[in-house]
Amino acid sequence: MNAVPKAAAPKSDEPIVRIRGLKKSFGEHIVLNGIDFDVAPSQVVVVIGPSGSGKSTFLRCCNGLEQPEGGTVDICGHRLVDHGVMLKERPLNALRTEVGMVFQSFNLFPHLSVLDNITLGPRKLRGASKDEAAAAAMALLEKVGLAQKAHAMPASLSGGQKQRVAIARSLAMRPRVMLFDEPTSALDPELVGEVLQVMKMLAGDGMTMVVVTHEMGFAKEVADVVVVMDGGAIVEAGPPQTIFSAPTQPRTRAFLQAVL
Ligand code: ADP
Ligand code: MG
């Protein structure tokens, strides 16, 4: 039922995400000004930078939630955006299932149980049977430490539990890459760790991830590459040791001074 044929397993050096010259404006305001960006299989890329620098818009362009006006976006070797022109709806939807996204605000369906939140996508979009989807969902809930909450309603969960369910729901679509947009920013401080722990586990499993976060400890510990955005551009990118200990760009230094 996928309109886009499932990508053959990429060669180990073929990027899962490949972006060239990405441009996006809102009216006169240039929000992304020519971004080039690659994510290799199993790589964890952490994106940092001041508020308003274009981080969320950038992530949204990676899964077709935002229509850029220039550049190309390839996901698993399929062209999502070609010189600023986005795929039409059907192949777009198929390709979106390759890209999981977790937002700051959880976005669980409030009227569905935890289990139904997770099984909805696989049943509707992947044609999974009820039993098959439920078994896969239970395994994912086990993984994020919430098997006992399968029949709970979202309103009864803590923020950290909601976000772990949102991660499980996204994983249920078996994405090739997971995008996280400030997944812990809405949480009380004592709940941040349990969500970061799940993300760390995913990274350990080899999941390809792009994470926008202000959690510099997570970036230092888990990132393969840290990308610094400012003013709609990537000002610097490199391994965390370099970015945090020996940044070369004044704008990176200024940002790190403000947050560390
Ligand atoms: P970040 O995630 O780094 O804080 P965003 O990508 O959310 O940055 O926003 C970058 C800039 O684009 C901001 O100035 C923001 O106000 C603007 N922007 C984002 N989305 C919209 C929109 N839908 N309409 C108009 N301006 C927007
Ligand atoms: Mg943002």
The pLDDT-based confidence of 12 (bands split at 50, 70, 90) is low
Q: Distance, CA 2 to ligand 2 centroid (Å)? A: 31
In SS3 terms, 53-75 reads as CCHHHHHHHHCCCCCCCEEEEEE
Mean pLDDT score across all residues of the chain: 93
pTM of the complete model beyond 0.90: yes
- Enumerate residues lining ligand 1, CB below 6 A: 26, 31, 49, 51-57
- Where do we find the tokens 């990176």? 252
Atom of ligand 1 nearest to the CA of 27: 25
Q: Calculate the CA 51 to chain-centre distance.
A: 18
State how far the Cα of 97 lies from the Cα of 4, in Å rounded to an integer.
Answer: 11
Count Cβ atoms within 10 A of the Cβ of residue 111 and give its class: 0-12 exposed, 13-18 middle, 19 or more buried. exposed
Protein residue whose Cα sits closest to atom 7 of ligand 1: 56
By three-state DSSP, how is residue 256 classified? helix
Q: Distance, CA 229 to ligand 1 centroid (Å)? A: 13
The pLDDT-based confidence of 8 (bands split at 50, 70, 90) is very low
* Residue partners of 97: CB distance under 8 A and separation at least 6: 2, 121, 125, 126, 173, 174, 175
Q: Distance, CA 53 to ligand 2 centroid (Å)? A: 8
Predicted confidence at residue 126, as pLDDT, reads 87
Which residues is 17 bridged to in the sheet? 39, 75
Alpha-helical (H) ranges within the chain are 55-62, 89-96, 114-125, 130-143, 159-171, 189-204, 216-222, 240-245, 250-259
Q: Is the pLDDT of residue 7 over 50?
A: no
- List pLDDT tens digits, range 23-75: 999 999 999 999 999 999 999 999 999 999 999 999 999 988 999 999 999 99
Atom of ligand 1 nearest to the CA of 232: 10
Atom of ligand 1 nearest to the CA of 212: 2
CA triplet 194, 186, 73: central angle to 5 degrees?
A: 90
Alpha-helical (H) ranges within 19-99 are 55-62, 89-96
Q: Distance, CA 49 to ligand 2 centroid (Å)? A: 10
Q: Average pLDDT for residues 155-175, to the nearest whole number?
A: 97
Q: Are 31 and 57 in contact (CB under 8 A)?
A: yes
Q: Please identify every residue whose CB atom is under 5 Å from ligand 2, which is an ion.
A: 55-56
Protein residue whose Cα sits closest to atom 24 of ligand 1: 26
Q: For residue 61, which ligand has an atom nearest its CA?
A: 1
- List pLDDT tens digits, range 228-244: 999 999 999 999 999 99
State how far the Cα of 30 lies from the Cα of 19, in Å rounded to an integer.
Answer: 17
- List pLDDT tens digits, range 97-140: 899 999 999 999 999 999 999 999 999 988 999 999 999 999 99
Atom of ligand 1 nearest to the CA of 57: 6
Q: Distance, CA 164 to ligand 2 centroid (Å)? A: 20
